[in-house]
Amino acid sequence: MSSTESTGNTIVASTQPTASTPLTTHAGSCHCGTVTFTVRSPAFPGQVVVSCNCSICSTHGYLLIYRPHEDFVFTAGEDRLRVYSFPGVHKGKIGHWFCPECGTSVYAASTDPGYHGAGFKAVNVRTLKDVDLRSLELKLVDGRSL
């Protein structure tokens, strides 16, 4: 596992694959299976995964990949998701979607079309079924300092 530092405003741009990177479809779900989805992304290992130390990422154990909204497709339970937003670093402009049954944090996304990361979902890699977490290339982000 390798790591690098990054600042909050460059996270999405610096973790995106090139246009020529082949994409793989990964199945994901919450713990109880109420929410299921697929996400297209580069294969693991080989893509950078964000590990942020801000209060919500640390609490939920997020390991994130940033994917365009169109690469994330629900297969069940989208209507069951709940969203939590807090007034900290992002001043309530980032929503964190979770399953109300089991509490699994599935993804985060901008709730303001003009705000950082709009157009992308920050998908929690821990919800993907075919990923060996020990093989991930982590980018450490100091979200506490933003």
Burial of 30 (0-12, 13-18, 19+ CB in 10 A): buried
Q: How many CB atoms lie within 10 A of CB 9?
A: 11
3-state helix, strand and coil shares in percent for the chain, rounded to the nearest 5: 20, 35, 45
125 phi, psi to nearest 5 deg: -60, -25
Q: Can you list the residues of the chain whose pLDDT is less than 70?
A: 1-19, 88-90
Task: Note the Cα 27 to chain centre separation in Å.
Answer: 14
Q: pLDDT at position 49, please?
A: 97
pTM for the model stands at 0.84
Residue 21 tokens, joined: 């990177």
Residue 98 tokens, joined: 């979770």
Report the distance separating Cα 107 and Cα 44, nearest Å: 18
CATH number listed for the domain at residues 24-145: 2.170.150.70
Per-domain boundaries in the chain = 24-145
Check if the beta carbon of residue 28 is closer than 8 Å to that of residue 127. yes
Tens digit of each residue's pLDDT (9 = 90 or more) over 99-109: 999 999 999 99
Check if the beta carbon of residue 72 is closer than 8 Å to that of residue 25. no
Helix and strand totals (H; E) in the chain = 2, 11
Residue 109 bridge partners (DSSP): 95, 121
Q: pLDDT at position 18, please?
A: 58
